[in-house]
Structure 1
Amino acid sequence: MIPGAETPDRRGRTGLHLVGRDLDRNPDVVVRDVELLSADWYVLRATTYEHRQHDGTVTTERRETYDRGDGATVLLYEPARRTVLLTRQFRYAVYVNEHPDGMLLETAAGLLDDDAPEEAVRREAAEETGVEIGEIEHVFDVYMSPGSVTERLHFYAAPYAGTPGGTRAGIAEEGEHIEVVELGFDEALAAIGTTIVDAKTVMLLQWAALSGPFSAPPA
């Protein structure tokens, strides 16, 4: 038996094989079985369900889902100088999938754990950048990879104070070695698709340009 079902996993969780069995919000989908595949830290499940199609036929499908909890991210910006504050850190998942060195430029982000989204994003901004941030604006909530990952990401934006430029941050005990990178907003926007290839960062930069703090042309 995989830990996390009847026996606790290393985070003390049980009952992870029951999640999703009681779903009934969609009358065309009936969950028949949930198999716990792994709960080493996050949770991998295989769910078998019946799905009634538009023509009335019923198919049986089996899908794997990866549950790492929900997260939050924030675009930190300084409107007077037209700058944004990003982080650069090593991400093995992109490194193994053809990113040149795995050092990804991205907005500050992290999992909610047991915090509300706004509390979590303030925590992550402080840990990953070390700057003081102002009033937080909620932008939108998005499912980032709905084919297999359950995570819903809460997007925020907030002004920041100070010019850290090149400082280091992160919690070393958690394996975080983060470089804080300040960029001109126009430079960051132009870098989309080249040096900025992280989805949440691209989305927040485009929001900032279309309807956010940099939507109006510079005076």
Structure 2
Amino acid sequence: MKLSGLDASDVQVQEETKVYSGFLKLFKYTITHGLFKGGVSHPLIREATVRPPSVGVILFDPVRNQVVLVEQFRMGPFLSDDDPWLLEVVAGISEPGETLEEVALREVEEETGYKVASLRPVSDFYVSPGASNEKLKLFCGLVDASTAGGIFGVA
């Protein structure tokens, strides 16, 4: 529940600059926004990555009561001097014209080789709202995990 009464109309963008465009798109914004006590903030500079919607899929085998995860290299932990090989749910970013359900099914097959028996929505949330517009739709995908283990996925 929101208490402030403020919304998107209380934010004014004075300047938007594309800083970088590659795997990520980075923009720099100068904004002002309404204040809880009334009035308007002084100009603020904020950077944000701009990304298409993404999905995550918790793979669950209800017969075996098992969750299937994937192991992948991730740059963020590497830059933090942490183990960059993470166990994760299947995840991916949408392409133009794809529904999020189609993305989820495609990513499950690409990363695990599994076919999902049933795909159920769990939640929608912003992954890192202080620095990105990326919104993730989380699904639960029911699978047969009897062949889990080993190396799967696209080369």
TM-score by length of 2: 0.88
> What residue number does 2:70 align with?
87
Distance in structure 2 (CA, Å) of the matches to 1:106 and 1:160? 16
- 1:87 counterpart letter in structure 2: V
CA contact (8 A) 1:131 1:164 kept: no
Shift in Å at residue 166 of structure 1? 2.4
Distance in structure 2 (CA, Å) of the matches to 1:154 and 1:27? 25
CA contact (8 A) 2:57 2:138 kept: yes
> Is 1:159 matched with 2:137?
no
- 1:71 counterpart letter in structure 2: S
Shift in Å at residue 70 of structure 1? 1.5
Distance in structure 2 (CA, Å) of the matches to 1:75 and 1:27? 36
Q: What is the RMSD computed on CA atoms of the aligned residues?
A: 1.5
Matches within 5 A, 1:144-183: 144-172=127-155
Greater strand share, structure number: 2
Secondary structure at the counterpart of residue 131 of structure 1: coil
1:72 corresponds, among 37, 52, 55, to 55
Distance in structure 2 (CA, Å) of the matches to 1:74 and 1:119? 12
Q: How many residues align?
A: 147
Q: 1:27 to 1:162 in 2, by over 3 A?
A: closer
2:28 corresponds, among 39, 46, 50, to 46
> What residue number does 2:4 align with?
none
Shift in Å at residue 147 of structure 1? 0.3
Matches within 5 A, 1:1-219: 26-59=8-41, 60-100=43-83, 102-114=84-96, 115-172=98-155
CA contact (8 A) 1:88 1:106 kept: yes
Deviates more, 1:68-77 or 1:50-59: 50-59
Distance in structure 2 (CA, Å) of the matches to 1:68 and 1:170? 24
Deviates more, 1:162-171 or 1:81-90: 162-171
